[in-house]
Each structure stands twice: as C-alpha cells, then as structure tokens.
Amino acid sequence: MLHQIRDEWRTNAERGLDPMEIKAMVKLLRDMKRRVWLPGGSGTGDWYATIGLGLRRTYRQGRELFTVSDSIGLLNAGDELWHETRKRAKTLGYQLRFLRKIWPGTLNAIAEQLEEVSDHLGEDHDLALIRLRLAQILLPEADFELYSVARLQLIRTIDRRRRRLQNEALRRSRLVYLEQPRRFLKRIQCYWDCWYHQHSSLSTTAVVQPANSTLA
C-alpha cells in the first residue's frame, strides 16, 4: 500500500503543474512576500513600522493557534489547525533569524525551538496525507481481511507517531509563546535599542578618531 502511495506521488510530481496548481503557488508566493520583511530604517523610531508590527502580528497569530491546540487537546485538534500552527512557527523563525545579530544567544535559541516545532509538524502533516490516502485505497477481494488488518495496524502506528510529534511540538511551543505579545515585542525592542545604540556609538567613534589623529 505504501508503495502504491509513493508511486502515485512520484507520478504527480513528474507530470508537472496544472493551471490550478500554478495559481495556488502564485497565491502562496504573494502571501510569503507580504509576510517576509527585512530589518531596516535609520533609527529606533522606525522600529515599529519596519519590524515591530509584523513581528507582533506573527507572534500573536502563532500564540493564538498554540493556545487553541493546547486547550482543546491533541485528539480534538484538526489537521488544518496543526498546519496553520506550523506556518506561523516557520514565519516567526525566519523573522527572528533576520534579527539574530542584535542578541544572538537568545534569538538563536528561540529560532531553534521554532524550527523544531516546524519540523515536527511538517512530519505530522506528511503522515496525515499518507493516512488519508491509505483510507482511500481499495483493497483486493482476495485476502481482503488480511489487507484490512494490515491497513488498520499501519493507521494506528501512524496515529501514535503523530500524537508524539504533536505533543513534542506543543511542549516546545510553550517555551516560545510563554509571553503576551506586547511583552514579547517590548523585550525584542529592548534588544534592538541596545544593539542600535551600541553600533551607532561605534560608528561615531570610527569617524571621530581619524579626524583627531590628523589634527595631532
């Protein structure tokens, strides 16, 4: 059965993208363009417009999804909820890696936790697709009972693995989404302010020192 699923997906990959798939991909790219940003601006006054607004939105959305999953329990959280949680974790991880130089130890640690969340939920999503396809496969009439038992055992194995992945993703999410969005954003802004003022002072010193040495 797994060989059949693998061959189907390989065939779909080789046949190329149809117009509907291309349209969906264009929509995805546009959505990514809207979400991804680079730190910029000429000073701390630009913080919220260039960084804070998008960072706060991504963190808040991810935290809300995590809170729902954590409150309703693993058995009640649907595949779409896990998939959306993964997308928000990936986006927040990208944003924090853009900013990692302002406080490397802390931001790299958070980004690594988000990467683990994304990896666990990515595998969970793949298993969800395999499980769905397994349930759709028509079993041969000959040895139907044997194939039916084998499929049921495989589905149960998939379900157990998915629960472990989801539970680990929730455990790591608790470490990331511990703070309220406002407090999280304020903490990151403090890192930014320290980094910005430090580098501004270094730049000023670099300009002043050659001038003093020339006068001397």
Q: Is the dihedral of CA 56, 58, 62, 67 positive or negative?
A: positive
Q: Determine the pLDDT at residue 12.
A: 59
What was the pLDDT predicted at 199? 76
- With a threshold of 0.95, does the pTM exceed it? no
Alpha-carbon distance 184 to 176, whole Å?
Answer: 10
List the structure tokens of 25: 């991909």
Q: What is the C-alpha to C-alpha distance for residues 142 and 5, in angstroms, rounded to an integer? A: 20
Calculate the alpha carbon distances from 60 to 42, 88, 91, 177, 179 in Å.
26, 9, 12, 9, 10
Structure tokens at 20: 């509907």
Per-residue pLDDT of the chain (216 residues; tens, 9 = 90+): 556 655 655 665 555 555 665 666 566 556 655 554 444 444 445 778 888 989 999 999 999 999 999 999 888 999 999 999 999 999 999 999 999 999 999 999 999 999 999 999 999 999 999 999 888 888 888 888 888 898 899 999 999 999 999 999 999 999 999 999 999 999 999 999 999 888 777 655 554 444 444 433
What's the pLDDT at 37?
46
